[in-house]
Amino acid sequence: MDINEFIEKFAEIFEDTDRAEFQADTKFKELDEWSSIMALNVIAMVDDEYDVLLKGDDIRGSETITQLFEIVKSRK
């Protein structure tokens, strides 16, 4: 699993946020576009792309994109 590819797929979910804002250490919940609906989009993307099921606690417990990536990676 590649972190850059993960960031790319993560960024594609968002429509109004500039691609440059998505970095490994981006605190995604601080983005203006973040919402509970976006959390569902992230869970859906990870299920589709990585066949890994994130739980509500995984999203709540993660601050940065890297942290989320590590959870997904650990379950591959």
Cβ contacts of residue 49 below 8 Å, gap of 6+? 9
> Tokens for 56?
């509500």
Collapsing DSSP states into helix, strand and coil, what is residue 23?
Answer: coil
Q: Which of residues 3-62 bind other proteins (CB under 8 A)?
A: 16, 35-41, 43-44, 47-48, 53-57, 59-60
Give the shortest CB-1-to-other proteins separation in angstroms.
Answer: 20
Give the shortest CB-4-to-other proteins separation in angstroms.
Answer: 25
**Nearer Cβ to other proteins (23/49):** 49
**Nearer Cβ to other proteins (31/39):** 39
Gyration radius of the chain over CA positions: 11
For 54: left if phi > 0, alpha if psi spans -120 to 50, otherwise beta; the answer is beta
Chain positions contacting other proteins, by CB under 8 A: 16, 35-41, 43-44, 47-48, 53-57, 59-60
